[in-house]
């Protein structure tokens, strides 16, 4: 029997996502995603078969490259912001109800092509650099190609903004300890944390192979939990679809928030997840001969992360609907996500400790720490405002860079279509350097 306390209750917004819930920002994000989607469809409209990520993986990649892509996807899953994306997804469900999961799917799909464009341009301008995209280096490459005047001040501003946005998201990682899936608080939580720390050290010692095994175990556990909740998935999906448009009449603590709340919460989670994949440090992926292949690989990474987060969100709904059948699966998934959070945190610390960005990283960490201490001392909300403003401005800067060089990215896609699908040699060849063109 549903009690009155089970009805939806408005929740305070998650710190650091206030600006991402702005209606203008959500509208701008939708327009950006539709712009890159329309350009992609225009370029591949004349391909004999319908070009997609699956055709790229199945027909346009050699078997060895296909295995390298799958291995890189599995290896990168533990440290690919999985725990942070899970926190954003759970916060969206608490803020906007079950319908927020639908809008999270919509905005995450809208960000797929822009993030692919970012990875492709980064591969073109910085072919020897893997891992995190540096917005300042990307701007420098764009200005150099256009033979425009260098902007060192703007580059430094982008570097500081990107680092501050990343550091501002670090305090959100501790919210995983207060999640409903966590074991008992107090003494019951300490043994779990000790075991997780030991597993993290083991993964660091084993290296890439250990993270691949960890990803496979996590995906197997996730599939087993979904199969165990098979009778509950249909009501959960129906609740998500109805609540997304405020048509649900089911009295539940995660429904009834309204269309505006679901749209804003889901949009903020989708935009926040996309920003996390851009800002976060990650291991270098497989090497590609063409920037468009790096773009398609980035879109595959985004689809894998989106699928995992949707499955976790549905399991969270099933656990709230039928809590007695989901205690152990939820606790095991919580343990995996805590371990993923430790792996992600280790990559972020190693990225901030690099010699070229150590000063910026230390100052941003100090600023975030000072804001957190001030909030605890005075009871203010300085840290959420600081992290939210930095995240919003960083995402707007990212969108501005993409629009600034979108025509060149579409030319790179046309070059990939001509060379790798139609097997013709375009003139001039965009992948040739100026020295090679002069020697021809």
**Hey, what's the torsion of the CAs at 177, 181, 187, 193, to 10 degrees?**
-60
Question: Distance (Å, rounded) from C-alpha 309 to C-alpha 317?
Answer: 12
Reported as a single tens digit per residue, the pLDDT across 20-35 is 667 777 888 889 999 9
Encoded tokens for 101: 């999961």
Cα 390 vs. chain centroid, distance in angstroms? 17
**What pLDDT is attached to residue 155?**
86
Hunting for tokens 């050699």 — which residue is that? 62
Supply the pLDDT for residue 396: 87
Cα–Cα distances in angstroms (integers) from residue 126 to residues 118, 121, 154, 429, in the given order? 12, 8, 19, 18
Q: Which two tokens stand for residue 303?
A: 């689809």
User: Please, what's the b/e burial string for 209-242 (b: 16 or more CB within 10 A of its CB; e: otherwise)?
Assistant: ebbbebbeebbeebeebbeebeebbeebeebbeb
Q: How confident is the model at residue 2 (pLDDT cuts 50, 70, 90)?
A: very low
Residue 429: predicted pLDDT: 61
**pLDDT over 70 (residue 190):** no
Task: For residue 259, count CB atoms less than 10 angstroms from its CB and return exposed for 0-12, middle for 13-18, buried for 19 or more.
Answer: middle
Whole-prediction pTM value? Answer: 0.86
């Amino acid at each position: 029997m549903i009690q009155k306390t089970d009805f939806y209750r408005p929740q305070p917004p998650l710190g650091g996502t206030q600006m991402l819930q702005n209606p203008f920002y959500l509208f701008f994000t939708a327009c950006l995603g539709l712009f890159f989607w329309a350009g992609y469809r225009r370029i591949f409209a004349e391909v004999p078969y319908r070009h997609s990520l699956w055709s790229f993986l199945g027909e346009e990649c050699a078997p060895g490259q296909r295995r390298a892509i799958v291995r890189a996807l599995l290896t990168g899953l533990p440290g690919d912001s999985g725990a942070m994306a899970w926190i954003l997804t759970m916060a969206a469900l608490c803020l906007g109800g079950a319908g927020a999961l639908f809008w999270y799917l919509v905005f995450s799909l809208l960000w797929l092509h822009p993030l692919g464009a970012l990875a492709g341009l980064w591969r073109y301008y910085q072919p020897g650099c893997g891992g995190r995209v540096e917005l300042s280096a990307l701007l420098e490459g764009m200005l150099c190609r256009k033979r425009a005047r260098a902007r060192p001040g703007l580059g430094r501003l982008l570097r500081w903004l990107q680092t501050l946005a990343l550091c501002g998201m670090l305090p959100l990682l501790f919210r995983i300890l207060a999640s409903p899936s966590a074991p008992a608080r107090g003494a019951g939580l300490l043994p779990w944390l000790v075991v997780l720390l030991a597993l993290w050290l083991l993964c660091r010692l084993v290296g890439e192979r250990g993270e691949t095994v960890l990803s496979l175990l996590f995906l197997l556990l996730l599939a087993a939990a979904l199969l165990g909740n098979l009778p509950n998935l249909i009501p959960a999906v129906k609740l998500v679809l109805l609540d997304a448009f405020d048509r649900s009449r089911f009295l539940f603590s995660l429904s009834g928030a309204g269309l505006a709340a679901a749209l804003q919460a889901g949009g903020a989670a989708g935009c926040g997840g996309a920003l996390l994949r851009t800002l976060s440090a990650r291991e270098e992926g497989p090497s590609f001969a063409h920037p468009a292949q790096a773009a398609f690989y980035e879109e595959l990474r985004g689809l894998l992360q989106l699928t995992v987060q949707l499955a976790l969100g549905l399991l969270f709904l099933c656990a709230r609907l039928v809590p007695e059948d989901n205690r152990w699966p939820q606790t095991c998934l919580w343990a995996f996500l805590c371990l993923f959070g430790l792996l992600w945190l280790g990559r972020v610390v190693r990225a901030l400790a690099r010699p070229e960005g150590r000063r910026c990283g230390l100052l941003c960490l100090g600023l975030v720490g000072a804001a957190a201490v001030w909030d605890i001392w005075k009871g203010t909300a300085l840290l959420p405002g600081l992290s939210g403003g930095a995240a919003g401005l960083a995402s707007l800067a990212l969108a501005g860079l993409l629009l600034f060089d979108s025509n060149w990215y579409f030319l790179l896609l046309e070059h990939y279509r001509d060379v790798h699908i139609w097997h013709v040699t375009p003139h001039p060849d965009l992948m040739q350097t100026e020295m090679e063109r002069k020697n021809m």
